[in-house]
Amino acid sequence: MTTEVLTFVEGRIGRIRLNRPKAIHALDTAMCAAMLDALTAWRIDSAVEAVLIDHAEGRGFCAGGDIRMIASSGASDGAAARDFFRVEYQLNHALFTFAKPVVAFMDGITMGGGVGIAMPAKCRVATENTKFAMPETGIGLFPDVGGGWHLSRLPGHLGEYIALTGARLDGADCLALGLATHYLPAELLDRVKADVASDPQAITAALDALSEAPDAAKILADLENIDRLFAADTLEEILAALAADSGLWAKEQLAILATKSPQAMKVSLHLVRQGRHMPSFEDEMRQEFAVATRVVQRPDFAEGVRAVIVDKDNAPRWQPATVEGVTDHVIDQIFAPLPDDQAWAPA
């Protein structure tokens, strides 16, 4: 039994508290399994009326998944990585389909796997500390954990922009875009958690009562540029549109994209575009599992982890090195459904 996530019942609510502060509460397989077990038990426990997800001490809600383990596994047979993704995605799906209200507190860093456990919640609370991002293209990965579903449902072409650039959003941005349902000062979180615990049937009212209006969301000033410059059908056309634009914002985005894995960007763009037409979240997770199991065994993921996380030289040598080098055939291979005996399924 892991102590890196605490699951317990407090009054009439189930509590999930991430407890791995030295890793900014990054998720491993055991943590995901413990959360999934708790949700499975609480689903049929009439004494549990709602679920609250937060984190113990530290500067973030959840920084993502156990990237080093996934990279190490991907460099060999990939079995441990597949086990992790299977359980993590079952957790994402269990939260998405959970019939009782779930409230997630995105206080601090909320990235990757943290987004995956926060976004399915009915109520998502941002604060002045929130730093929300899906930065996976920088390490040769893609915005998984349901990212293809959640990002594709943002207004305009925000999904493409966030997936490709790994843009970091603050709490005001999250509220403005609907990624958060409420914005509270961090100093009020303990108070509102107590209010939720005392009356689980009035979660929204408790959050509404203490919510405050943040400063203006900076992302709103960029929406016209995002919708104009990230609308093209292909990554090549998006890059060409950015290159042809004389504005500083376009130049900044072009420079950011030049650091990302060409393969990961094409995978991410395809994922968001397909996500808009997925019939169900279960279908989305089935596809993301197939994509994830293949991407982690391709060269760019190992190289991205080396450059950004291990050696920290931030000088990845991507294969292929150019966007044009990533063919449609490669993308089709990555997105091909897995055989039935290997495919992902809900818990």
Is 65 annotated in the active site?
A: yes
Q: Which of 345, 294, 306 is nearest to 81 (CA)?
A: 294
In contact, 179 and 124? CB cutoff 8 Å: yes
At position 138, the amino acid (one-letter code) is G
Of 58, 108, 113, 275, which residue is the catalytic one? 113
Q: Cα(26)–Cα(113) distance, rounded to whole angstroms?
A: 7
- Apex 272 CA angle, 118 and 73, nearest 5: 70
Is there a catalytic annotation at residue 156? Answer: no
Q: Which of 66, 144, 284, 300 is catalytic?
A: 144
Which of the following is catalytic: 136, 284, 288, 303? 136
Return d(Cα 322, Cα 236) in angstroms, integer.
10
Instruction: Using the Cα atoms of residue 88, residue 91, residue 97 and residue 103 in order, give the sign of their dihedral.
Output: negative
Q: What are phi and psi of 168, to 5 degrees?
A: -95, 130
Active site residue 144: yes
Q: Which residues contact 78 (CB under 8 A, 6 or more apart)?
A: 293, 296, 297
Torsion of CA 320, 326, 331, 334, to 10 degrees: -10
Strands (E), 175-273: 182-183
- Given the residues 14, 64, 65, 166, the one annotated as active site: 65
Catalytic residue IDs: 65, 113, 136, 144
